[in-house]
Chain A
């Protein structure tokens, strides 16, 4: 699945003890950077990607030849201005864009499949922390990310309280809800029910569980949109036909759209990685790591937080984002919060939502001026 060329990799020599108890070492982290690190090394922003993202944030992704997942937000003169900031993003461990994951080989040269250790959000950020040493950065200017990226942001600042000046979790949660877990389980069941999955031991692209993975993606995709957004875009419009066909072909545009989303996803994503990463999200419960008191997760940081949610996001709704604000306020932390009006659902953070992009830009640029 990976095209090795065009992927920058850092081999982490230092052993990393995972939450599951296993230890990994000499493992690769695939990363990409944008802009340049200034001489004071105070302009670095670490971006964390969401479930199906990768290190190629903006511009053309050299592996998929598609636009980077955060092209609206990151680039020259954009909200995260690469003329000004040095932006780093790496593929999470467990992923499938070059970082250590289930499609890699174990020490016996056998593809891991489901023998890859179960990883957590905590493991992901501990692995990515090595990038700071690699670039000789003592303190990041900012860390940010949406959705699972936001979870990594929260975990990172909890683990490394003095390693970032500003912290921007977007459309996220401090603890995966039952509904979140339920949707992820639906996706995993779709994959494992595909006869090509073979307990994770599929080996070539021809025999991978593409059908199952496509269904997983279709189900998840619905959760990223709002009812209003779907209705306005598709309604009951028919797909290249005058009338219903009284069959099970894609009569409706929404069906055709979802099928397309499923099929293109299969070309760029690994089914086992999907299992691993959704599991990591489900296991995420930052408050639980601190005996149920979320505030304790942030007690040692002096970072300036800015939390952003979206009105139509029902996957990680405003209240879950606000719970983080409340936890921070109760310890007197420096925290700002805004809920952006948008009918584009959870996906709002990836799309052209001017109020969001302006808020992000203003917060970053004003905070950087105060540096």
Chain B
């Protein structure tokens, strides 16, 4: 399991109720279910991935976060997880609002467009950056709204969303992000993980 999922799992206490939005093949769900006795549900748009989840015995609903989150009542999950997909929605702000309505807390991870390799790629090669977390070409990327850790940090603050924890990930290294080291973390982390609440 990738380090990102380990970090997310560490943020969630045992026996909670969790919704994994865009749960893909259910790797994180399965880990949370088996290791932390989490009552876990998934929402996934790909039929193939939904089938993989069913094959793992996971409860998953085929659907689209932009349309299908509204069926869940307010605060019906302890945590709602959204891993590296916020930037792929037509309206990320609306999805973020929905995550925070449905979940008592939300865990959102974003691939950092401020990562130094991304900046160097654009600066020196002059072509759209391709990195481990941003593997697609400009013409086939699902990402519509790329942002940096700094962008996201200020965005949630401007919306009066409370940040409980913000973590920077660079390969296997995890470190805390705060207002004073934001510039540095924005340069050296390829992924940001935010535990937030509204």
Q: With A325-B71, A329-B71, A329-B72 in contact, is A334–B59 under 8 Å at CB?
A: yes
Interface size class of B (residues with CB under 8 A): 10 to 19
Which residues in chain B, 52-80, are within 8 Å of chain A measured between CB atoms?
Answer: 54-63, 71-73, 76
Contact yes or no, B56 A366, CB < 8 A: yes
**In the complex, A329→B63 CA distance in Å?**
13
| Partner-binding segment picked from A185-193, A228-236, A277-285, A355-363 | A355-363
**In the complex, A370→B34 CA distance in Å?**
12
| Nearest B-chain residue to A355, judged by Cβ | B51
Confirm or deny: B168 has a beta carbon within 8 angstroms of a beta carbon on chain A. no
Q: Contact check: which of B51, B56, B57, B63 meets A337 at CB < 8 Å?
A: B63
Question: Taking each of A338, A341, A370, which has the highest tally of chain B beta carbons within 10 Å of its own beta carbon?
Answer: A338
- How many residue pairs, one in A and one in B, have C-beta atoms under 8 Å apart? 55
Q: With A325-B61, A362-B55 in contact, is A338–B50 under 8 Å at CB?
A: yes
Confirm or deny: A76 has a beta carbon within 8 angstroms of a beta carbon on chain B. no
**In the complex, A338→B42 CA distance in Å?**
12
> Interface of chain B, helix or strand or loop or mixed?
mixed
Confirm or deny: A255 has a beta carbon within 8 angstroms of a beta carbon on chain B. no
B127, chain A: closest CB distance, angstroms:
36
> Interface of chain A, helix or strand or loop or mixed?
mixed
Interface string of B106-125 (1 = CB under 8 A from A): 00000000000000000000
**In the complex, A369→B59 CA distance in Å?**
14
Which B residues are in CB contact (< 8 Å) with A363?
54
Confirm or deny: A162 has a beta carbon within 8 angstroms of a beta carbon on chain B. no
Q: Contact check: which of A304, A339, A367 meets B62 at CB < 8 Å?
A: A339
- Can you give 30 A-B contacts (C-beta < 8 A)? A306-B54, A325-B61, A325-B71, A326-B71, A329-B71, A329-B73, A330-B71, A330-B73, A334-B59, A335-B59, A336-B54, A336-B60, A336-B61, A337-B60, A337-B61, A337-B62, A338-B47, A338-B51, A338-B54, A339-B47, A339-B62, A341-B47, A355-B47, A355-B51, A359-B51, A362-B54, A363-B54, A366-B54, A366-B55, A366-B56
In the complex, given contacts A335-B59, A366-B55, what are 20 additional A-B residue pairs having Cβ atoms less than 8 angstroms apart? Answer: A325-B61, A329-B71, A329-B73, A330-B71, A332-B73, A335-B61, A336-B58, A336-B59, A338-B51, A338-B54, A338-B60, A339-B47, A340-B47, A341-B47, A358-B51, A359-B51, A362-B51, A366-B57, A367-B57, A369-B57
Identify the A interface with B (CB < 8 A): 304, 306, 325-326, 329-330, 332, 334-341, 355, 358-359, 362-363, 366-367, 369-370
